[in-house]
Amino acid sequence: MKLRGQIGVLIFLCVLAYARSLGLPLLEDDYPNITGARTWGTLAGFSTLMHTGLIVLRSTGYWLTALVWSAMGFQPVAYRAVSLLLHIANALLIFALCRSLPNWRPVAFWAAAFFAVHEGHQEAVMWVSANNELLMLLFGLAALWCWMRQWRVLSLLLFALALLSKESAVILLPMFLLVMPVTEWRRSIRRLVPFALLALGAVAIVISTRTYSFRFNDGSFSLHSPFWITWPRSYGRLLWVWGWAALLWLFVRRNKFGGSRVVVQALLWMGLGLIPYSFLTYSTAIPSRQTYLASFGLALLVGLALADLASVSRQWVAVVLVAMLLNNVGYLWTKKQQQFAERAAPTEQLLELVKRTKGLVKIQCFPQPQIVADEAVRVALGREPETALYETLKTQGQTHLQEPAAVFCYRKH
């Protein structure tokens, strides 16, 4: 297949995997984040963003969301389409990066194709508020691609944008060395000094904001968490099921293919990609959106196995590809589509009641924090919550309130 055809197939696979999710509503965190983007993602709000501590390391997500808002307003499909476009760009970057490395070139198409449809990182694509994962990989891979071509200034700029996408981007630094032969590491380390200084600056921001950062204060992250359980458990989950199958095939074929170095690189990329997320306190399994970076390593591993299988039997590789599509795309279109629809249902029901009610709506049972209800009303309906929600006025200390016109209680269908 010619290069143009391969690119077309990769774009098609990305769209095939996530096309159905374009019709989903926004989720609970999306509404407060859109409000934040309208404040911090504009030129007027830039100085405010610079004084918000750790949030500055997620600037690109706010900038992108503010751009979509200014162009499309409240159109959920627009935000989801942008996430899908970012995923397509990342799959094509993986394809380009692999093609530029002699050892990875034979697996370039296979790795990018698996990454395009892999369901394991679906939350990064299907949840608008997780666009920082997409942006971090986009800028990180672009920086790596430019660095390999000696485009140092452009590479440094792209790496800075990766750091401004998410604080975990510092782990990209050792990944730059993975693509280089060990004999060139000493020279490569010298070239990475400016990148290391930028990464140290990001780490300094994280440390300096520990006393008031939302990530430390909400109890979701701690250096004392059981990372020794979270990391290996999440590593094993990431490999399931196609990663384990690829390892089994490559082990059986270990004396007949020359890709052992690529296997090591893939496994190391996976391990490094999971490290920043292994200090969670609320779970010993890393959420799917946070495996997006590590999934590149998984795609490289599976791609290597597919390339080797194709050299043995085209018929069998066709069978495996069909099975992969049915497994990954089928899971996204059924199980995950249902889960995300159910997750959006409480906010959607509340918005529907507020839309058809002229007076105040009293919330009796809503499975999300009050800020979600407030911002959903503000973003989706263009109304201030004080004019729509009885509960908002009550929390503001107003004692003389008119009787609510309607009462909301979420009922799961």
126 within 8 A of 340, measured Cβ to Cβ: yes
For 110, counting Cβ atoms within 10 Å of its Cβ (0-12 exposed, 13-18 middle, 19+ buried), the class is buried
| Residue 405's pLDDT band (cuts 50, 70, 90) | confident
Residue 88 contacts by C-beta under 8 Å, 6 or more apart in sequence?
Answer: 10, 11, 14, 15, 116
d(CA 130, CA 21): 14
Closest among 170, 176, 183 to 141, alpha carbons compared: 176
Lowest mean pLDDT among 262-271, 330-339, 368-377, 402-411: 402-411
pLDDT of residue 50: 62
Tell me which DSSP letter residue 334 carries.
Answer: I
pLDDT of residue 326: 97
pLDDT of residue 73: 94
The yes-or-no verdict on residue 399 having pLDDT over 60 is: no
The yes-or-no verdict on residue 394 having pLDDT over 70 is: no
308 within 8 A of 253, measured Cβ to Cβ: yes
d(CA 363, CA 404): 10
Q: Taking residues 199-228, report their average pLDDT.
A: 76
54 within 8 A of 167, measured Cβ to Cβ: yes
d(CA 156, CA 173): 11
Rounded to 10 deg, the angle between the 76-99 and 108-117 helix axes is 160
First to last CA, the chain: 48
**Dihedral sign for Cα atoms in the order 382, 388, 394, 400:** positive
Q: Taking residues 264-282, report their average pLDDT.
A: 93
Planar angle of CA 171, 285, 208, nearest 5 degrees: 45
Which residue carries 């196995």 as its tokens? 305
406-409 and 361-365 strand pairing: parallel
- The answer to whether the bond into 56 is cis (omega within 30° of 0) is no
| Residue 257's pLDDT band (cuts 50, 70, 90) | low
> What pTM was computed for the model?
0.94
Q: Quick: pLDDT tens for 21-40.
A: 999 999 999 999 999 999 88
Q: Quick: pLDDT tens for 197-206.
A: 999 998 888 7
For 228, counting Cβ atoms within 10 Å of its Cβ (0-12 exposed, 13-18 middle, 19+ buried), the class is exposed
Q: CA 358: distance to chain centroid?
A: 39
Lowest mean pLDDT among 119-128, 250-259, 290-299: 250-259
**Dihedral sign for Cα atoms in the order 158, 302, 99, 119:** negative
Residue 15 contacts by C-beta under 8 Å, 6 or more apart in sequence?
Answer: 84, 88
Hey, where are the domains in the chain?
Answer: 3-312, 343-409
394 within 8 A of 401, measured Cβ to Cβ: yes
Percentage of the chain exceeding pLDDT 90: 70
Q: CA 234: distance to chain centroid?
A: 16
For 51, counting Cβ atoms within 10 Å of its Cβ (0-12 exposed, 13-18 middle, 19+ buried), the class is exposed
Coil/strand/helix, residue 121: helix
Lowest mean pLDDT among 43-57, 130-144, 313-327: 43-57
pLDDT of residue 185: 87
pLDDT of residue 153: 95
Q: Taking residues 46-63, report their average pLDDT.
A: 75
The yes-or-no verdict on residue 335 having pLDDT over 80 is: yes
Lowest mean pLDDT among 109-113, 176-180, 222-226: 222-226
Residues in a beta bridge with 396: none
pLDDT of residue 227: 92
Residue 70 contacts by C-beta under 8 Å, 6 or more apart in sequence?
Answer: none
Q: Taking residues 37-59, report their average pLDDT.
A: 74
175 within 8 A of 272, measured Cβ to Cβ: yes
pLDDT of residue 42: 78
